Amino acid sequence: MEEKADAEEGDAAFLAEVLGFLGDCDHQAQVPTTGGDSLLLENHLLHTETETEALFSSFSAPSAPSASVQEPGASSCNAAPAVTTKPPIIAREASGESPLSDKAERRRAVWNAQAAKRRARYRQQLKAEWQLLRQQESELSMELSDLQKAQAQSKVLRRSSLALPAWRVITALQREKRREAETQHEGLRATVASQAMVIQQMKGLLQQMLAVAAPEHFISREKHTVGLESHEIALFEAFVRELEPLYAQTDEVTHPHGMKIEPTTFMTYKPICKRQKDTMYYESVDAMCLPFDFQRACRAASKLLLSVPEGCQRFDGVNDLENKVAVKYLTKHRLDSGETALMVTYCVTKMYWEAERLVFVWRGLTEGQGAFAGMHSNETGWLVVRPSTVKECKPSVKQGGAGAPTVLENCVRFVPMHFGGASNCDVAADRFAEIIAKTGEKELGEVTQMLAKLLVDAGGAIPAEMAR
């Protein structure tokens, strides 16, 4: 503690002497300082200490520091210039003046040692700050690199997230289209299988019929009955299986596009040629009003359509004989040219009772013989019996009987087909379709007249249009 106190006293005395000496010095450096700038002030103090050290070093022992001092660790812009000018004291000694005392020299040596320590501490502080800055630079560079990588990844994720919804939508659409295509493909396969079976059965039936008898042996259906073969039974069974799907289409075919056909006083049969994709078919849709109540019309229609005419062969292998009938009959038709067209017809009819209507669905096949060998007509029909609405029938029809009139809606479709064995198939197919249309018109007229007769027998009157 005493040494420290002595050192402080020596420093204070030495500082007073230095201040007095610097006041007498002619070459004292004038260094401007900037208020508020701590770094420039510290450099100015260092330069002053360096000049002072260089000044007093000329009086020190040979072991004293060199007169030219440059601070290590400082930049070139802050480096102090070397002091080479001889101080005034040296000039005084050269002129013969007495040197300073030993006490002053010791004080200067102590002051120089302390200044060297301060400079060493300052250099160490600069090195520590420099290392800290280098470390911070490295850390910030790594952080910047991480941020740049994260930003790049976020851009990639943003792009992928924007593209993902579109990809999902496209995938969903493709999956839906694939399901639709698979469903359509399955339906087409089932249709092809069913049609192939029908074609095979019709082909076997045609060959069998051609081998049994000549065309001239066929007579009208009222006088001839033919036994059923195994392939004919298979054909009837196939028709029976098709009735349920046809019944499900009743509203669609009787009310096309959701529109009802305005009923008239008599039923007409005028098939119109239509085309669906690659299939050409004929369709006749019509409706008529009966001046009888719904229950009486239903009884007459069921009695007429489910009966077996004389000369027809009935197939009893079907279930529910009360509501279903399957018949086969032979007919001949005289053409305008005087020729006779012979036909073999297979037909299955089924009746469906509902709360407010009665539906008949039938499936038929007509085979040509003789000149029309190989020609076929694939027929499907619907007949709906229902009560009429308030404004549906004419006043003359409403006055024909008691109660609300009854409406009959009829839809018949047939597809002409031909197989190998027919010559001039295009001409023959047109003639065959014409014969089928005339036959259907004739049969519809007969059915209408028979229905009117049944209604009259049950009690009531009919309009003059139905009596024709």
For residue 369, what is the DSSP state?
A: -
- Is residue 59 scored above 50 in pLDDT? no
Beta bridge partners of 411: 285, 382
Q: CB atoms < 10 A from the CB of 72, how many? A: 12
Crossing angle (nearest 10°) for helices 230-248 and 102-212: 130
Tokens of 466: 């139905």
CATH number of 218-467: 3.30.530.20
Answer for the pair 55, 108: CB distance below 8 angstroms, yes or no: no
Indicate if the pLDDT at residue 192 is higher than 50.
yes
Least confident among 55-69, 202-216, 305-319, 372-386: 55-69
Read off the amino acid at residue 375. Answer: M
**The predicted structure's pLDDT at residue 457:** 67
d(CA 360, CA 307): 13
* pLDDT value at 157 more than 60: yes
Angle between helices 38-57 and 102-212 (to 10 degrees): 140
What is the C-alpha to C-alpha distance for residues 344 and 331, in angstroms, rounded to an integer? 6
Continuous segment of H or E residues that includes residue 275: strand 272-276
Chain centre distance of CA 367: 49
What values do phi and psi take at 283, rounded to 5?
-140, 135
- Output the pTM of the full model: 0.50
Burial 40-67, CB ≥16 within 10 A → b, else e: eeebbebbebbbbbbbbbebbeeebbeb
What is the overall mean pLDDT for the chain? 73
Return phi, psi of residue 288, to 5°.
-145, 160
SS3 content of the chain, % helix, strand, coil (to 5): 55, 20, 30
The residue-averaged pLDDT of 266-275 equals 84
| pLDDT tens, residue by residue, 73-124 | 444 434 444 444 444 444 444 444 445 578 888 888 899 999 999 999 999 9
For 270, phi then psi, to 5°, come to -135, 85
pLDDT for 402:
53
Q: How is the chain split into domains, by residue range?
A: 2-139, 218-467
Mean pLDDT over residues 335-362, rounded?
Answer: 87
